[in-house]
């Protein structure tokens, strides 16, 4: 016969004790702020305002959010920088901008390359490998989206004349520099003049380089920092692609003032995260035309108000804007 159960048979389990969660959060306002120079396998190299280099690890409470070069972090613990010491990065200050990309245009995962930068140096080679408009346009889209000043740097200009390539970007209000480094048959004065012009544009700024492998980013960094801090590589003749010589982003101090951030070569630059309206807003002189566009205008259709521009300069600017918008949609 089955036993009948009633309330007397019930056993009440004691409630599980839980640690009381404090509503108070730690106050980090008095902690030292450091700038991240590089991140390698979880180890953060940072620099304090007094120039002291401090190694740190990310605190658990920061979760999975990545810390990247250029971030401003609050440090707790040993800040002596002595060998074997390790501080804790307990807070990341709000970023004023980020340089980021998605793996491809359909990718939802955004990869942040650097933060809090003033300028984006888009580095392409005049030849070996060939310059690609699509890559430059995508970089410009990111720069305009984030309010970062873009600068176009064309290396290996002694191998091919980039005048046609330059003409496509001259009216976009971006600085353009040419460099033929390194070539043994060129005079040192010619090399110095090119680099000094570029260094003048970098003075007092935090600039980040981006480009395909093999275009000469590391060579450029060595010339700007007057050092041999970055190893250099060659272009694979079979594929036309460069070999990676930099495995992680790294910020180098420029003699005089300023910082230059070298990044690993990229092969894809997805724009899934880009806001088209911020790109359009960067072309202020076209605003008077754009306000006349029909609702939800793609700015590349028959009824677009931009088609009414008559000045040749404005037409080339519009062509550049449309190319950048097209890049952000692909």
Query: What pLDDT, on the 0 to 100 scale, is given for residue 49?
Result: 95
Radius of gyration over every alpha carbon of the chain, rounded to an integer in angstroms = 26
Is the peptide bond preceding residue 36 cis, with omega within 30 degrees of 0? no
Domain 32-92 carries which CATH code? 2.40.50.140
Distance CA 250, CA 89 (A): 18
Domain 98-262 carries which CATH code? 3.40.50.300
**Which residue, 233, 220, 302, is CA-closest to 260?**
220
Distance CA 237, CA 311 (A): 44
Query: What pLDDT, on the 0 to 100 scale, is given for residue 162?
Result: 92
Distance CA 300, CA 321 (A): 10
**Six-digit token string for 105:** 């245009």
Distance CA 221, CA 252 (A): 8
Tokens 């200050």 sit on residue:
93
Q: What is the DSSP string of 181-205?
A: -S-TTS-HHHHHHHHHHHHHHHTT-
Query: What pLDDT, on the 0 to 100 scale, is given for residue 158?
Result: 87
- Predicted model pTM: 0.80
- DSSP strands (E only) in the chain: 32-40, 43-48, 53-58, 72-77, 87-92, 98-102, 110-115, 119-125, 149-155, 175-178, 206-210, 250-253, 259-262
For 28, 269, 320, the CA distances from 137, given in Å and listed in that order, are: 41, 10, 8
Q: What angle do CA 148, 101, 130 make, to 5 degrees?
A: 85
Which SS3 state, helix, strand or coil, does residue 237 take? coil
pLDDT in tens, 82-120: 999 999 999 999 999 999 887 765 556 778 999 999 999
- Are 324 and 318 in contact, with CB atoms under 8 Å apart? no
Counting as low any pLDDT under 70, the low residues of the chain are: 1, 17-23, 104-108, 181-191, 229-247, 267, 310, 312, 330
Query: What pLDDT, on the 0 to 100 scale, is given for residue 185?
Result: 52
Enter the DSSP assignment of 173.
S
Domain boundaries, the chain: 32-92, 98-262, 276-319
Query: What pLDDT, on the 0 to 100 scale, is given for residue 272?
Result: 74
**Which residue, 29, 90, 87, 26, is CA-closest to 59?**
90
């Amino acid at each position: 016969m089955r036993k009948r159960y009633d309330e007397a048979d019930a056993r009440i389990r004691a409630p599980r004790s839980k640690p009381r969660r404090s509503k108070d959060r730690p106050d980090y306002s008095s902690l030292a702020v450091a700038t991240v120079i590089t991140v390698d396998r979880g180890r953060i190299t940072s620099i304090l305002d007094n120039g002291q280099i401090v190694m740190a690890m990310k605190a658990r409470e920061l979760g999975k959010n990545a810390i990247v070069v250029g971030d401003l972090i609050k440090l707790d613990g040993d800040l002596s920088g002595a060998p074997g010491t390790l501080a804790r990065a307990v807070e990341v200050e709000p970023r004023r901008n980020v340089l980021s990309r998605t793996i491809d245009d359909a990718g939802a995962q955004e990869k942040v390359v650097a933060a809090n930068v003033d300028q984006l140096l888009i580095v392409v080679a005049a030849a070996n490998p060939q310059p690609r408009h699509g890559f430059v346009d995508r970089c410009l889209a990111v720069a305009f989206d984030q309010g970062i000043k873009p600068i176009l740097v064309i290396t290996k200009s002694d191998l091919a004349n980039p005048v046609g390539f330059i003409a496509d970007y001259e009216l976009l209000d971006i600085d353009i520099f040419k460099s033929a480094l390194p070539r043994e048959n060129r005079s040192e004065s010619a090399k110095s003049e090119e680099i000094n012009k570029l260094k003048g544009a970098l003075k007092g700024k935090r600039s980040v380089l981006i480009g395909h492998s093999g275009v000469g980013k590391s060579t450029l960094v060595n010339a700007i920092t007057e050092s041999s801090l970055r190893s250099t590589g060659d272009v694979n003749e079979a594929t036309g692609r460069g070999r990676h010589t930099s495995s992680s982003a790294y910020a180098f101090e420029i003699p005089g003032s300023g910082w230059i951030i070298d990044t690993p070569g990229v092969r894809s630059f997805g724009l899934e995260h880009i806001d088209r309206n911020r790109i359009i807003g960067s072309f202020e002189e076209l605003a008077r035309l754009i306000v006349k566009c029909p609702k939800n205008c793609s700015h590349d259709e028959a009824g677009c108000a931009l088609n009414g521009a008559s000045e040749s300069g404005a037409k080339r600017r519009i062509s550049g804007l449309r190319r950048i918008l097209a890049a952000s949609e692909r």
